[in-house]
Structure 1
C-alpha cells in the first residue's frame, strides 16, 4: 500500500471514529446514517423512513437468499447489515476502517440477537482479508466514495465474490459540469469527507469491466435521493446544533455540513449493479 493510500485510510477512519461518538435523538441510535430514497416525488416520508427505504432497495438489488454469505464493505454503524440479515436470512460480514464503528456495530448485532449471523471487523476495502470466492454477494453503500482507486476496490470485491455473485454499490458523480459559483461547495464536500476523485456516469462501464466484472445496471437516482436528503440533514443539524457543537466542536460541525450542496443539482447519485461472470447454480 502506498503512503497516499495509507493516509486516506487513516483519515477516513479518524473521521468516522469521531462521527461514531456522536449520537442524539436525530442522529445515531437505529438510524441508517446514509442518504434516503423516495420512490416518487409525491412521497411524504421523513428522512428516517427514506433511509430505511434505501436499505430496502439495496436488499432488493442484491437478491441475497437464506444462507448466503454477504460482505458489507464500509458497514458504518451496522444498521444496514443487520437489516439485510433480518430480511434475507443470510449471513453478513461488515468491514470498516473505523475501530469505533466496529465496536458499536458489534454492540448492535448483539442487541439484535444476530451474533451468529452478523459480524464486523476492521479491514481496508482495497486489501480485503478474505479468500477468493468467500461470499455470494457484496454491497458497498456510500463507501466507495472514499476510495482513491475505485478499480482496485472493485477488483477486491470481484476476487472475494463467487462466480455469478452480485455486487451492488452507490456513488456520487458529476451529472453536469459544476459552474464556478458552485464549485467551492463541491470541493469542500470532497475534501472534508475525504472523498476519492469525482467520476461521471459514463466512467462506470469501464471501471467495472477493468475489475473483471459484468455491468448489470447503472442508474442515475439523483432525483430520488439528493435534494430531499440534503434538506433533511440540514433540518436535523439545525435541530441538534448545540449538541453537535458541544460533541464534535463547532469547526468540525461546520466542515461536515452539507447544506451548501442543496442547490448543486450537478452533483448526482448513482446506483450500480454488477456481477462476476461464471457458472452460477443459484436461482435468480
Structure 2
C-alpha cells in the first residue's frame, strides 16, 4: 500500500499540472512510464480489454471489433506472413501482439520495460497457445538489447509517445530492422491546429500528458522529421482520425451512452468510481486507487477536448521503410 501511494505521488510530481517540468519528465521518462503503468494497467484492462489503443470505427462496429480491424490493417500494411519475425515496440500486455500473430501467422516479439505488463502478457499468451511463437523482451526501447538487422518488420502502436527523444527511439527501431523492411507507426501527436501560445491548448495538452504518462507530445511535423532524421524513408502518412466514420474518442465521451462500452460511459465511469471508492474504504483496493481513477478521468476529458478542438490525434499513422543501403551506425 505504501509503495502504491509513493508511486502515485512521485508520478504526479512529474507533471506540469503539479509543477513538474518537461525536461524532468524527459530525463526520467523510463521511471515515469513504469510508475504510470504500474498504477493503471488493471484499470486499462478492466475498461479497455487487452488492446490499449484507439482506432477508426465504423457505424455498427463494437469498440473491440474496431481495434481488431485496426490491428489487421497494420499487419496488412506490413505484409506480414508466416515465417516473418516481427517486433512490437511498447507492446503493453500484448493484445495487438496476439491478434496480429493469429491473423498473419508471423512470430511476434513484444518489447516492454514494465515487468508487471510482461508477466500479464505471458499469462495471456499461454492461455491462447502462443507461448511458442510469441515472446517478450524486457528492455528500454531507447537502448534495445537486440542485434542489428534482426527483424523482418516492426510496429509501434501509441507507444513511442513515451520516448524522451523521437529520433533516438526511431533510430533504434531502424537499427534492429533488416534493410528494406517496413515499420508501421501509430503516434500520439498535436496537429497543425495546436497553438502553443494558446493557454487552453496548453492546458489540454498537459491534461493528456498527466493522464497518460507522457513527457511531451510532439507535433505531426516533428514526428515525420524525426523518422527521416533516424534514417527511415517515409512511404505514407495519414491521420486516421480524419476519416473515421465515428469519432475515435467516442468510448471516452461521457455525453454518449453505449451498451457495448458501458464501463466507459458517464454512468459506467460513475459506477466504477463509486466501486473503487468503496473498495479503497474497505481496504480491499490499495489506498490511492481512487486518485488513480481520478487522473484517468482527467486523461479522458483532455483527450476528448483535444479531439473536439482538432488539436490532438492518437492515430497519426506513418508507414516507413529502412533503406536497403542503410548501414548500422558505429
Cα distance in 2 for residues equivalent to 1:6 and 1:122: 20
Cα distance in 1 for residues equivalent to 2:139 and 2:63: 30
User: What are the superposed Cα offsets for residues 61-96 of structure 1, whole Å, 9 maximum, x if unpaired?
Assistant: 121121100010010111100111111111111011
Residues 1:243 and 2:272 aligned together: yes
Counterpart of 2:324?
A: 278
User: Equivalent of 1:130, from 134, 141, 146?
Assistant: 146
Residues 1:267 and 2:309 aligned together: no
Instruction: From the superposition, tell whether residues 250 and 63 of structure 1 become closer, same or farther in structure 2 (CA, over 3 Å).
Output: same
Structure number with bigger Rg: 2
User: Equivalent of 2:235, from 216, 230, 251?
Assistant: 216
Judge conservation of contact 2:152–2:181 (CA < 8 Å) in 1.
yes
Compute the RMSD of aligned alpha carbons: 2.5
- Secondary structure of the 1:136 match is strand
Counterpart of 2:226?
A: 207
User: Equivalent of 2:194, from 177, 191, 194?
Assistant: 177
Judge conservation of contact 2:56–2:241 (CA < 8 Å) in 1.
no
1:45-64 equivalences in 2 (<5 Å): 45-64=61-80
Judge conservation of contact 1:231–1:259 (CA < 8 Å) in 2.
no
Q: TM-score, normalised by structure 1?
A: 0.87
Q: Please, which moves more after superposition, 250-259 or 59-68?
A: 250-259
- Secondary structure of the 2:248 match is helix
Residues 1:256 and 2:256 aligned together: no
Cα distance in 2 for residues equivalent to 1:189 and 1:259: 8
Cα distance in 1 for residues equivalent to 2:40 and 2:319: 28
Instruction: From the superposition, tell whether residues 177 and 20 of structure 1 become closer, same or farther in structure 2 (CA, over 3 Å).
Output: closer
Cα distance in 1 for residues equivalent to 2:245 and 2:294: 20
Q: Please, which moves more after superposition, 251-260 or 236-245?
A: 236-245
Cα distance in 1 for residues equivalent to 2:48 and 2:105: 27
Q: Please, which moves more after superposition, 215-224 or 123-132?
A: 215-224
Give the Å deviation of 1:192: 3.2
Cα distance in 2 for residues equivalent to 1:203 and 1:141: 17
Cα distance in 2 for residues equivalent to 1:156 and 1:100: 24
Counterpart of 1:10?
A: 31
Cα distance in 1 for residues equivalent to 2:233 and 2:194: 28
Give the Å deviation of 1:124: 0.6
Unaligned 5+ segments in structure 1 are 280-284
Cα distance in 1 for residues equivalent to 2:88 and 2:245: 23
User: Equivalent of 1:21, from 37, 42, 56?
Assistant: 42
